[in-house]
Structure 1
Amino acid sequence: MSEQEITTTPRKQAPGDKPTGIKLVAPARPHERAGEIRFVEMPREQTPRLDVLVLNPPSPDGDLFLRDIARVGRRTRDGIIWPQTALAQIAAVVKEAGYTVEVIDAIGLMMDWKSFEKYMWEKKPRYMIIHATAPTLTNDMRTTFIGKAVGSITMAIGTHVTPMTRETLETYPTLDIVVRGEPELTIVDVIRTIDRVVAEERAAETVPVGNPDLTPPWRKLPFPDASYLTTRGRFRGVPPAIIARALRETLGVGYRDEHGEVQINPDRPFIEDLDTLPIPLHDQLPWQRYKVPIVGGPYTFVLTSRGCPAGCRYCIKHVTYQSSVRHRSPHHVLQEMIMLKEMGLRHIHFEADLFTVKKEFVYDLCHTIIKEGIKLRWSCNSRVDFVDEDELRLMRKAGCFMIAWGLESGSEEVLKRARKGTTVKRIEETIAASHRAGIMNWGYFIIGLPGETVETIQQTIALSKRLPLDIALFHIATPYPGTPFYYEAVANGWIRMNQWEDYDMYSHTVLNYPHLSSADLEYWAKRAAREWSLRPRPIMTFLKGATNPETWGQLWQIGVNHLKWIGGSLRNEGLRRLGGSTM
């Protein structure tokens, strides 16, 4: 029996009926063949797309990660939620350039991946700028896959992608652009340039924009290879070829050319006058959630300067703002402080590579704060060789309640090899002076810098106990790409890693010295933390903070997390490594 088309409603087949051999198909519409599978087009978008999304990506596992475009990324065991002021600064510059922009701090918002994907499909940003770090690299690049699905041009910034531009672009095809170094002006330049080229080529109707190109030779290729997809624009949005043509002369970027080869353009000069930057869009941040030990909450960062003249070989400043120092004016800083106070903030941290790098600035700012009567508690960072006791007393009078000190080691040999530029004696004198001035002291130490031995680690632990510190943190040394320490570690074969996510100086390390393995370094970092914290002074600091309703819940959680971190296998491992010696 020949196959027929039935356009009327067929009767139901009764039980026991034999098949008729008649195929039922829908009636053919004009100009269509019966049974042909038709393509379906999505409805046109009803709402305007967001121009720019500036993103701190969701956490890979729900834990808190500290990220900042001028710092390294790491997991936190201290309950700290890091203010994303640098992203708010980028957003302010983009907004001032005339674009719609939103900042999403997924870590601060505790935003999971499901919520983030929903946001992306609602907003469909034309450009997405993500902050990527080594310990979360694959996780961060997942955002670019979602970005390409909604038609975004994807950009990455940060201390990892700047020195690893080529490797990152070659590994992750859904990342379009790496913005290297100081990002603000480069990002605006990229957006304006690509928009201009897209507008010009649309007007000339020479290239497709918005949807995949279905013109030849696409129809002649039943299954084009990956290189064809990445070079001919198979993703939604602006084809890579247009991006490549637009960015040929743009400073400070890495991208792929029309053939899919990574190109890295010359770097952009630093911004000379930081006062030309608009005040960050703090109101777009979840600032009520930002917290740090002892401070309570909320708090945020206020940038004062960029760059540091010191030569520490392990410092990420070699990748970011380098040795030239540029300051905002005290008046410009004061404007931001007044705005933050009006928002309801009472605590700020002056963010800089080195806050006390220029004594004249510190004096001018402190006198301005005192004169204007700005009642904000503030903290900062410093080096022991860039401040004196008179300066510390003025800082305390102007509202400084805590200083974070980069102390690193109690060994003169280790300090000298790291080119720290100071001595143990100067560390002791300055921390004592800060304590006399009534300022709380937060000491940062690094376990495992070149030249480290069990003996030098014990010297560091002993120094931490002698100093009047209110908080002490012991990091494991990490040779971040782009630093002199990294090149030394690579040359000597000290790095063992399987993926960039191994770069997490709190939980483990990629360092393996011939005389100190990664397990040794991890053990000693935990032991140092335990020896320092389980003493009367740190316990009293904890109890004093616990009497403050603002800090009690946070300090309790920090204490629990800290004990978990220094505990675990430490007891058994210690007996094995120390042969049963007492602490």
Structure 2
Amino acid sequence: MSDILLLSMPYGKSYGKIDIESLDFGVPPVGLAYIGSYLKSAGCDVRLVDLMFSTSNWEEVRTLIHKESPKWLGISATTPQINEAFTTAKIAKELNPDMQVVIGGIHASALPEETLSNENIDILVYGEGEMTMLELVEGKVIDQIEGIYYKRDQKIIKNPPRSLENDLDKFPYPLYEDLPLERYGGEHVGATLGIISSRGCPYQCTYCAANTIHKRKFRKRSIENIVGEIEKFKHLFKVTKFSFYDDTFTLDKNRTVAICEAIMKRDMNLEWNCITRGDSLTKPLLEIMKKAGCSMVQIGIESGSNEILRKAKRRETVEENLQAVHWAKQAGMEVVGLFILGLPYETEETIKQTIEIAKKSKVDYAQFSILVPLPGSEVWDLAQKGEAIELITSNWEDFGRYGRSIIRLKGLDEDALSKYFVKAYKKFYMRPSYIIKKLGKVTNLASFLNLSKKGLVLLKLIK
């Protein structure tokens, strides 16, 4: 039994056509893990459970909540998971009507009143949750707690927002101890442990909803704090592979160099990867990253059209992205190119340009997705106004990646976008030169089986 139970929701249909049971790896609930560790450091009795790969097995969820019988149930859910969150809350209230159900995350922060209108949710946390959740469970007077919505006399009350914490070092390392760490990582990098070395991103990309919580404010942990976490988890969990989940890991180039130098100074012998932008990479930076153990970078190329990038407020160019990929390859890294089809004002011609740039760029892997207008993003606001983009569903389960299009644009309906999505994957991965190159890297049975599995996932995606 635990006083506080934190639950990360099942992926459900978050990956569209991709069956989550076919995936070897997922992303850990780092946000909830930080909340869990903060509560635990304050002496709270807390348990964190990740239901990521549960395929909506509600009896399993019911048994878990009944066994723990918590006073507080904390739920985090993305937009395509929100219905699972509501079902979980309903189960909790059926088991114990007095259990306090709290929900948080980007979706809840973007649509607080709609989310809290669910009869089984008691309190909604908007913004960052560590300090807010602690004040809730410690019994602070509810109308004095910043960063929440709550109900009183059948009315929804909004308290003032909580200021973002600038000193990220005050938060203990994430509570990973009870999580299935062997299931976290990526299809291209294998099992890795996730680290967030900074929070927030100052850019204004129209399709991104992260600003809902971080308000485009970039905050960073100290180098000692970051490396301390790596050292602790390396020894505690016997891992040497890490993934940095920062929105833009190399945003502050000097900081990135300092992290690399600290890793090398301690002779940590790590392998790691990160996500970043092409215009925040330089050849010398990539070289030192490689020396420090960076084996792969994921670069948000997004479009092959400079005009579409400009309208998406990317503030970078196709040429900068191609240069970054070239430098990364020269440094000896693998590169994943991230692309979005269906950005506002997209045309058939610009989509074709994106597919061609993906092939021309020489990235090792291309990850295409159709634009999903997430609540909290600028494209969501455009869709609500019917400007440049039309949303054709109100079912949150349809807001997953890699599924059929849920939007239509002028001159490009949902069927056309869905067909281009499939075409993009076929054009990139079905090239004879690409297949031959990948087969040439097969050195043993394990690598052959791994390649075969990736092929089967791809076939399901494009059928």
TM-score class normalised by the smaller sequence: over 0.9
- Shift in Å at residue 109 of structure 1? 6.7
What is the aligned partner in structure 2 of residue 190 from structure 1?
A: 136
Pair 1:390–1:537, CA change in 2 (3 A): farther
Does the Cα contact within 8 Å between 2:62 and 2:91 map onto a contact in 1? yes
The residue aligned with 1:52 is: 4
Unaligned runs of 5+ in 2: none
Q: Contact 1:109 / 1:286 at 8 angstroms: preserved in 2?
A: no
Q: Is 1:310 aligned to residue 262 of structure 2?
A: no
How far apart in 2 are the matches of 1:282 and 1:544? 38
Deviations 1:448-490 (A, max 9, x none): 0011000000000010000121110111011111111111122
Greater displacement, 408-417 / 185-194: 185-194
Partner of 1:87: 32
Q: Does 1:165 align with 2:112?
A: yes
Contact 2:9 2:85 in 1 (8 A): yes
**Shift in CA distance, 347/514, structure 1 to aligned 2, threshold 3 Å:** same
Q: 1:516: which partner in 2?
A: 412
Deviation string 1:282-339 (CA, Å, 9 cap, x unpaired) is: 212100122412222x212111101112121111222121321111111111111112
Q: Is the 8 A contact 1:85 1:300 kept in 2?
A: no
| Residue in structure 1 matching 2:66, options 110, 115, 121 | 121
Shift of 1:551: 5.8
More strand by share: 2
**1:389–1:434 CA contact under 8 A, matched in 2:** yes
Within the candidate set 271, 279, 284, 1:390 is matched to 284
Query: SS in structure 1 opposite 2:108?
Result: coil
The residue type paired with residue 62 of structure 2 is E
2:80 aligned with 1:135? yes
Task: Name the structure 2 match of 1:506.
Answer: 402
Task: Tell whether 2:34 aligns with 1:98.
Answer: no
Higher alpha-carbon Rg: 1
Q: Kindly tell me: are residues 486 and 400 of structure 1, through their superposed partners in 2, closer, same or farther at Cα, counting changes over 3 Å?
A: same
1:459 aligns with one of 353, 356, 366: 353
Which residue matches 2:192?
A: 299
Corresponding position: 1:531 with 2:408: no
Cα distance in 1 for partners of 2:391, 2:362 equals 35
Secondary structure at the counterpart of residue 161 of structure 1:
helix
Alignment-mate amino acid for residue 433 of structure 1: W
Counterparts in 2 of 1:92-491, with a 5 A limit? 92-108=37-53, 112-148=57-93, 149-150=95-96, 151-170=98-117, 172-193=118-139, 246-257=141-152, 259-296=153-190, 298-342=191-235, 343-491=237-385
Q: How well do the aligned residues superpose, as a CA RMSD in angstroms?
A: 2.1
Moved more, 458-467 or 496-505: 496-505
SS at match of 1:356: coil
Residue by residue over 1:245-274, the C-alpha shift from the partner in whole angstroms, topping out at 9 and shown as x without a partner, is: x321211111111x1111122211111111
* 1:86 shift after superposition: 2.3
The answer to whether the 8 A contact 2:9-2:81 is kept is no
Higher RCO (CA < 8 A, seq sep 6+): 2
Give me the whole-angstrom Cα distance separating, in 2, the residues matched to 1:378 and 1:59: 25
The offset of 1:559, in angstroms, is 1.7
Alpha-carbon separation, structure 1, partners of 2:133 and 2:433: 48
Letter in 2 for 1:333: I
**Alignment-mate amino acid for residue 88 of structure 1:** A
Report the counterpart of residue 199 of structure 1 in structure 2. Answer: none
Does the Cα contact within 8 Å between 2:201 and 2:211 map onto a contact in 1? no
- Whether the aligned pair in 2 keeps the contact of 1:85 and 1:280 (CA below 8 Å) is yes
TM-score of the two chains, using structure 1 as the length reference: 0.75
Question: Unpaired runs of 5+ in structure 1?
Answer: 1-48, 67-73, 195-245, 568-583
* CA distance in structure 2 between the partners assigned to 1:512 and 1:260 by the alignment: 38
Q: Distance in 1 between matches of 2:220 and 2:23?
A: 31
Deviation at 1:84, TM superposition (A): 2.1
In structure 2, give the amino acid aligned to 1:193. G
Superposed displacement of residue 368, structure 1: 0.5
Residues 95 and 552 of structure 1: is their aligned pair in 2 closer, same or farther, counting only changes over 3 Å?
farther
Q: Give CA deviations for 1:330-381 in whole Å, capped at 9, x if unaligned.
A: 1111111112211121211011111011112111110000010111100001
1:316 aligned counterpart, secondary structure: coil
**How far is 1:538 from its partner?**
3.9
Partner of 1:355: helix, strand, or coil?
A: coil
Q: Confirm or deny: 8 A CA contact 1:307 1:323 kept in the other structure.
A: yes
TM normalised by structure 2 equals: 0.93
Distance 1:458 1:447, change over 3 A: same
The one-letter amino acid of 1:339's match is K
Matched residue of 2:37: which SS?
A: helix
Which secondary structure state, in structure 2, belongs to the residue aligned with residue 349 of structure 1?
Answer: strand
CA contact (8 A) 2:25 2:183 kept: no
Structure 1 residues 188 and 175 mapped into 2: Cα distance closer, same or farther (>3 Å)?
A: same
Fraction of identical pairs, as percent:
30
Alpha-carbon spacing, 1:79–1:472, altered in 2? closer, same or farther (3 Å): farther
Counterpart residue identity of residue 252, structure 1: G
| Separation (CA, whole Å) in 2 of partners of 1:391 and 1:446 | 26
Q: Is the 8 A contact 1:295 1:551 kept in 2?
A: no
For residues 564 and 315 of structure 1, the distance between their equivalents in structure 2, rounded to whole angstroms, comes to 27
SS of 2:160 mapped into structure 1:
coil
Change over 3 Å in CA distance of 1:512–1:550 after alignment to 2: same
Question: Following the alignment from structure 1 to structure 2, what is the Cα–Cα distance between the partners of residues 374 and 450?
Answer: 44
| SS of the residue 1:283 aligns to | coil
Which amino acid is the alignment partner of residue 334 of structure 1? V
Shifted more, 110-119 versus 433-442: the winner is 110-119
